[in-house]
Structure 1
C-alpha cells in the first residue's frame, strides 16, 4: 500500500483512474453528437476540447473534490453556445465529480458547491434558443438533477461505508472481548487447578510425613505400631496418587470436555478426613451447632477444603497435638471455624510462606463468602470462614436440634 504522501499512486489506481477518465470522455462525446436542431452529427472540435479538459479534471477529484466539481460544472455550461442539445451525457464529468464530492466531504460542502453549479447551469442554458419550450425546460431539469442524483448516491455510499466501518469495529471489539474472556477463563481455571493441587499435595504429603515420623519413632520400641503406621503411609500415598492422577487428568481433557473423574469432596466426608488426621497423631474434635442443610456443590467443596487445609497447617506448623473444628449453621450462612491451642508463629523460620491461606480466601470469595485467619489472644491460631447458605424453604434435608460429635 503506497504512502498517502507519495506523489505517484500505485499502478492499480492509475489504471482505474485512466478508465474513469476515458469513460467520461467517451460519454461526454456521445452526448455531443446531439444537436439542438434534432440532428445527429459528429461533435464539433470545441466539444472535443471541452470533453477532454473536463474529463482530465477528474484526476484531481480525490485531492480537490470541491474545485473539481465547480470546474466540471462550468465546462458543462460551456457546451451551450456550441449549439449542442443539453442532455445528461454532456455533463458526465460533472456527475462523476459530484459523486466523488459527496463521498469525501460533509453534506454542507456538497450542498454549497452543487447548488450554485446547478443554478449556473440552469441559468445559462435557456439562452441557447429564443423559443424556449416546456420540452427544453424538462430536459434542463433532467440535466440539472443529474449531479444532484449523483451526489445522493455518493451520500448513500458514504453512509454505507461508515456503517461497514462501524460493523467492522464492533466485530473487532467483540473479538478482542472474546479473547479477553478466554484468557480470563484460562487464568481462572489455572488458579482453580493450582488450588486443587495445593490442597491435595499439602494434605496427603503432610499426612504421609506424619505417619513416616511415627513409624520411625516406634521402629525399635514398638514394631506393631510401626507396621500400623507404615500401612497407613501406604494407604495415604495410594490415595494421593489416585487423587493426583484424577486432577492431572483434567489437564489432558480438550477444552470444555474436562470433567472431574470422581465426586468432589464434601462436608459429608469430613469424619473420614478427621480420622485420617487422628491416625497421623493429631487429636481433632468436631462440634456442629444448628440445623444442617444441603449446600451447593461449590460451597460444599469450599467448606471441606477449608477444614482440610486448616488441619494440614496445624499438623505442619503448630506446636500442638490437638485442634477443634466447629460448624455453626445459621439462617443464611454456615460458619466454619478451625482452632488450635499451640503457641508461637505458624510458619517456621526456615520455610517461606505458602499459598494455603491465600487459596482459602480465594475459594471463600468465589462462592460469596469471607475468610479470616490469625493468632488468638489466648494462644494458638484460628481460621474462620463464613459461607452463604441457600434459602431454608428450598432445602429438604433437616436435622433436629444441634448435634455434637467428639473424636478421641
Structure 2
C-alpha cells in the first residue's frame, strides 16, 4: 500500500517527527565550524536545514527525485562555509534509505553512487588543502548515504519476508477451508447414497409385499397374512439396517462398527429371499472360490445386488433374475441379469440416483459399473470391484495352508 493511502494520525505524527529530527540534526551540524569551534547557525544554514528537511516528505512518492533534491541541497553546505558532516546532509541520508526501500536495485545503486560522488565533489571543489582529518570526514560523508541504503535494503527484505509468510499463512488457511468444504460435500454425498440404497430398497420391497397381500386378501387370506407378516419383517429389517447405516456413517472410514456390522455378501441370501417372497424368482451362482472381502468392497458388492434387484422390481416387467459372482485373484465380478423389459434408460442417461450412486461407489474403489439392456432381451447390471493385493495374498496363503494341512 502506498504512502498516500496510509495517512493515518499515527503516520502523520511519525512524518512530523522525522522532518523535525532532520531539521534539528542539520542545525546541529551547522553549529560546528571548520576550526572545531561552535557558533550559532546562520540564516542561510537555517533555511538550508528547513528546506532539506521539508523535501523528505516526498520520499515515499518520488524517492529518486527526493534524493536528487536533498543531494543538491547538501552540495551547498561547503559553499555556505559550513562543515560537511553526516549531520549537515541528514536529509540526504534519510532519502537514501527511502530509495533503497522503494526502488529496484539497479536504480538504487545508480542514484546512491551518484549522490555520494556529487557530495564529495562539491566539497573537494571548495577545499584547497585537505588534511587527513578532512579526508576522513569526506569518507564519512560519502559512506553515510550508502550505509543508510544498506539498512533500507535489509528492511525491504525483512518486509518482503514477512509478507511472504503472511501470504503463505493465508493460502494455507484458504486451502484448509476448501478442503473442509470438499470433505463436507463428500460426506453429504456419502450419506445420501447410503440412505438411498437403504430406503429405496426397503420401501420398494415392502410395497411389493403389500401389493401381494392386497391381491390375496379376498381369495387366500392365509397367504395374505403371510405377506403382511413379511411386510412387518421387512420394515423391522429396514430399521435395523438404518441403525447400522448411521453407525457406519459415524466412522472415519468405510470400516463398519463392530457392534453394528454393515451389510455384506453374507446377507445376500436373506436379501434374495425377500425378493422371492415379493414374487421375483431370483437365482445366485458363484464362479471361482469365494473369499472374505474388505469392508468397503463387501458393502459395495451388496449394494450393487440390492439396487439392481430393486430396479427390477420397480421398473422392469420381469419374472426372474440371475445373480452371478465371479471370483478371481485381483477382482470380483458381479452380474445381475433379468428377463424383463426395462422402462429406464442406460446408466449414462438415467436421471435417477441409484445407479449413479453405485457408479460413485465402484469408482471410489477403483472399479467400474455398467448397466443397460441386452441385445437378446432383458437388462444387465455389471460391476468389477478390485481386491487389494494384500487381501488377495492372504487368501492365497490361507488356501495354500489348507492344502498343506490336507
> Which of residues 136, 145, 148 in structure 2 aligns to 1:147?
145
> C-alpha distance in 1, partners of 2:275/2:120?
102
Alpha-carbon contact 2:30-2:88 (below 8 Å) kept: yes
User: 1: CA distance between counterparts of 2:294 and 2:85?
Assistant: 81
Helix, strand or coil: the match of 2:79? Answer: helix
Q: Deviations over 1:281-309 (max 9, x none)?
A: 22211101112233222211111100010
Secondary structure at the aligned position of 1:138 is classed as helix
Give the unaligned 5+ runs of structure 1. Answer: 401-408
Provide the residue aligned with 1:92 in structure 2.
90
Per-residue deviation, 1:92: 0.9
Please give the alpha-carbon distance, in whole angstroms, between the structure 1 residues aligned to 2:75 and 2:265: 93
Secondary structure at the aligned position of 1:78 is classed as coil
Give TM-score, length-normalised by structure 1: 0.88
More moved, 161-170 vs 190-199: 161-170
Structure with more relative contact order (C-alpha pairs < 8 Å, separation 6 or more): 1
Question: 1:163: Cα distance to partner?
Answer: 2.5
Q: Does structure 1 conserve the Cα–Cα contact (< 8 Å) formed by 2:101 and 2:153?
A: yes
Q: Separation in 2 of the partners of 1:119 and 1:140?
A: 10
Q: CA deviation at 1:256?
A: 6.5
2:192 to 189, 194, 198: 194
Structure 1, 175-184 or 297-306: larger mean CA deviation: 175-184
Equivalent position to 1:45, from 43, 51, 55: 43
Q: Secondary structure at the match of 2:376?
A: coil
Of stretches 237-246 and 379-388 in structure 1, the one that deviates more from structure 2 is 237-246
Partner secondary structure for residue 87 of structure 1: coil
Asked whether the equivalents of residues 294 and 397 of structure 1 are also in contact (C-alpha less than 8 Å), the reply is no
Question: 1:109 and 1:263 mapped to 2: Cα distance?
Answer: 73
CA gap of 1:337–1:231, structure 2 versus 1, over 3 A, is same
1:105 to 103, 114, 125: 103
Match of 2:340 among 324, 339, 342: 342
Distance 1:181 1:17, change over 3 A: same
CA drift of 1:134 comes to 2.0
Q: Measured at CA, do residues 249 and 333 of structure 1 come closer, stay the same or move farther in structure 2, by a change above 3 Å? A: closer
Counterpart Cα distance in 1 of 2:19 and 2:369: 77
Q: Who is 2:393 aligned against?
A: 393
Aligned to 1:169: 167
- 1:355 equivalent in structure 2: 353
Superposed CA RMSD in Å reads: 2.8
Q: What secondary structure is seen at the aligned counterpart in 2 of 1:80?
A: coil
2:310 — aligned with what? Answer: 312
Classify 1:161/1:2 alpha carbon distance in 2 versus 1 (closer, same or farther; 3 Å): closer
Please give the alpha-carbon distance, in whole angstroms, between the structure 2 residues aligned to 1:257 and 1:56.
69
**Inter-CA distance 168–297: structure 2 relative to 1 (3 Å threshold):** same
Provide the residue aligned with 2:294 in structure 1: 296
2:400 & 2:279 partners in 1: Cα distance?
31
**Structure 1, residues 108-144: CA drift from partner, whole Å, max 9, x if none?**
1112221111111112223555431222212211111
Q: Secondary structure at the match of 1:124?
A: helix
Task: Single out whichever of 288-297 and 298-307 deviates more from structure 2.
Answer: 288-297
Contact persistence 2:244–2:262 (CA under 8 A): no
Structure 2: tracts of 5 or more residues without a match: 402-406
Q: CA deviation at 1:199?
A: 0.5
**Relative to 1, partners in 2 of residues 1:341 and 1:263: Cα closer, same or farther, differing over 3 Å?**
same
Q: 1:73 to 1:256 in 2, by over 3 A?
A: farther
Q: Which residue of 1 aligns with 2:279?
A: 281
2:79 matches 1:81: yes
Q: Match for residue 156 of structure 1? A: 154
| Aligned counterpart, 1:62 | 60
SS of 2:219's equivalent in the other structure is coil
Partner of 2:404: none
Shift of residue 198 of structure 1? Answer: 0.6
8 Å CA contact 2:301–2:334 kept in 1: the answer is yes
Contact 2:101/2:152 (8 A) holds in 1: yes
Separation in 2, partners of 1:281, 1:397: 40
Alignment length, in residue pairs? 393
Residue aligning to 1:403: none
Q: Deviations over 1:57-101 (max 9, x none)?
A: 111112221111011112222112344333212111001111111
Q: Specify whether residues 258 and 270 from structure 1 end up closer, same or farther in structure 2 by C-alpha distance, changes over 3 A only.
A: closer
C-alpha separation in 1, matches of 2:314 and 2:279: 12
Contact 1:292 1:398 in 2 (8 A): no
Q: Distance in 1 between matches of 2:45 and 2:393?
A: 93
